[in-house]
Amino acid sequence: MLGWFKKKPKKNVQEDSAGRSELAREDIEDDKSESAAQAEDVLISEEENKSVASIAVREHAPETARSKPSEKNGGLFSRLKEQLAKTRNSIVSRVDALFLGKKVIDPELLDELEEILITADLGVGTTHELVESVRAKVDRKELSDPQVLKRILKEKIAGFLHSSDQKAELVMPAKGPFVIMVVGVNGVGKTTTIAKLANKFLKAGQNVILVAADTFRAAAVQQLQIWGERIGVHVVAQKTGADPSSVVFDAFDYAENKNVDVIIVDTAGRLHTKVNLMEELKKIKRVMAKKIPDAPHEVLLVIDATTGQNAVSQARLFSEAVDITGLALTKLDGTAKGGIVVNICRELTIPIRFIGIGEQMDDLRDFNADEFAEALFAEGES
Ligand SMILES: Nc1nc2c(ncn2[C@@H]2O[C@H](COP(=O)(O)OP(=O)(O)O)[C@@H](O)[C@H]2O)c(=O)[nH]1
Ligand SMILES: [Mg+2]
């Protein structure tokens, strides 16, 4: 996802209402706007703040330097491990327990392994494939040690996580704003994810605005406005009940005049019974394209990892209506069902762009398959 922050060179002398875009990359840490600084007092600890700024700094870094583990990355990785502890325990600890006192890997043990993987929400197909590959190794007498089994599981799982890898990073348009339409059912974490995402762009020096196109609940518009104030970004909104497409239209007008780099659009997750959500989302998309031909450049579906397999059906449903281009999986910190990430990577061809691992600003992470597999199988701590 760093691609998003890399593609568009930051403007050095570009004015925006908050004066934010004119910050040179080097200045990001110490030259913050007042409102952003205020928001950080509340939301972002000093360490997190540094890591967010590192997104912008990494724009300059060569590939090799970026992939080298640093103390800062170490800190970020510990947090990832810590936040994935529930899922890790539901897989690794139970696999360990399974082998306790057992000398042979028998069919009964493999059945139990299957149950563990299903409970962690890896899905039936994924689990079956994993267990079969373990069974084959047992049959060939290549496997008797739980450590080896764990290694095989880790390798296979990492392989699945890579299956939705897509080389093509999203390219921010050279001209005009980058439009992200965020969709998903109510309560999955759309608005929160938007705030975290906006903050990332902000830290990378982009001029961001938010659009309150979830006009169906009074609280929704207000919630986005509160986030906008906290992180210091402009929110385009109309009153509750307004036509979402008209709010989007307003926002695009605003963006034209203000040199906006990124427009993030919040949408409803449920409508009044008579209005069809998917039809409404399609309409919003159509309206966007009328004003900015390639927009939306990204349709980001937010899904709540705690809903397990339901997440996969949600992804399919939304995909049919609005061509989802990326996924954000939230609440991985609160669930033992984080195995859903593996299943989604295997079942869907939509890349996971972000994972939400907590309520802090920096808890929206770029999804990295290797890092995720590593964190799932990490030993000892947290
Ligand atoms: N623990 C945790 N909570 C989250 C995460 N993302 C969102 N939430 C919480 O989920 C709830 C619903 O989020 P909201 O953004 O209002 O969902 P929306 O209805 O889709 O816009 C809020 O209480 C958020 O704080 C996450 O990654 N981890
Ligand atoms: Mg919302």
Residue nearest atom 14 of ligand 1, based on CA coordinates = 189
Compute CA 110 distance to the chain's CA centroid, rounded to the nearest angstrom: 33
In this prediction, residues 252-278 reach a mean pLDDT of: 86
Q: For residue 209, name the pLDDT band (cuts at 50, 70, 90).
A: very high
Instruction: Say whether 209 sits in a helix, a strand or coil.
Output: strand
Instruction: Say whether 132 sits in a helix, a strand or coil.
Output: helix
236 marked as binding residue? no
Name the residue with tokens 């990326």: 326
Q: State which H helix or E strand residue 134 sits in.
A: helix 124-139
Look at 113-122, 146-155, 159-168, 367-376 and tell me which has the smallest mean pLDDT.
Answer: 159-168
Predicted local distance difference test score (pLDDT) of residue 324: 94
Report the 10 Å Cβ neighbour count for 297: 21
Nearest ligand, CA of residue 363?
Answer: 1
- In terms of average pLDDT, the best of 231-240, 275-284, 305-314 is 231-240
In this prediction, residues 349-364 reach a mean pLDDT of: 92
29, pLDDT greater than 50: no
Q: Tell me the per-residue pLDDT of 148-190, one tens digit each, with 9 for 90 and over.
A: 887 888 888 888 888 766 654 556 787 889 999 999 999 999 9
Q: Which ranges constitute the DSSP H helices of 179-243?
A: 190-203, 218-231
CA distances from 316 to 235, 236, 347 (A): 30, 30, 10
3-state secondary structure 233-281: CEEECCCCCCCHHHHHHHHHHHHHHHCCCEEEEEECCCCCCCCCHHHHH
- Closest ligand 1 atom to residue 223 Cα is 16
Predicted local distance difference test score (pLDDT) of residue 33: 41
In this prediction, residues 109-130 reach a mean pLDDT of: 90
Expressed in angstroms and rounded, the spacing between residue 188 Cα and the centre of ligand 1 is 6
182 marked as binding residue? no
228 marked as binding residue? no
- Smallest Cα–Cα separation from 299: which of 164, 190, 187, 379? 190
360, pLDDT greater than 60: yes
Nearest ligand, CA of residue 334?
Answer: 1
The region that residue 206 occupies, defined by phi over 0 for left and psi between -120 and 50 for alpha, beta otherwise, is: beta
Q: Tell me the per-residue pLDDT of 66-101, one tens digit each, with 9 for 90 and over.
A: 334 444 567 888 999 999 999 988 888 888 888 777
Written as six digits, the tokens of 117 are 């993987």
Nearest ligand, CA of residue 222?
Answer: 2
Predicted local distance difference test score (pLDDT) of residue 63: 35
Look at 124-128, 284-288, 309-313, 330-334 and tell me which has the smallest mean pLDDT.
Answer: 309-313
3 marked as binding residue? no
Predicted local distance difference test score (pLDDT) of residue 37: 39
What percent of the chain lies above the pLDDT cut of 90? 43
Q: Give, for ligand 1, the residue of 83, 192, 352, 354 to mutate: max count of ligand atoms closer than 8 Å to Cβ.
A: 192
What percent of the chain lies above the pLDDT cut of 70? 76
pTM of the model: 0.80
CB distance 231 to 39 below 8 Å: yes
List pocket residues of ligand 1, CB cut-off 6 Å: 184, 186-192, 269, 330-331, 333-334, 356-359, 363
381, pLDDT greater than 50: no
In this prediction, residues 238-263 reach a mean pLDDT of: 94
53, pLDDT greater than 90: no
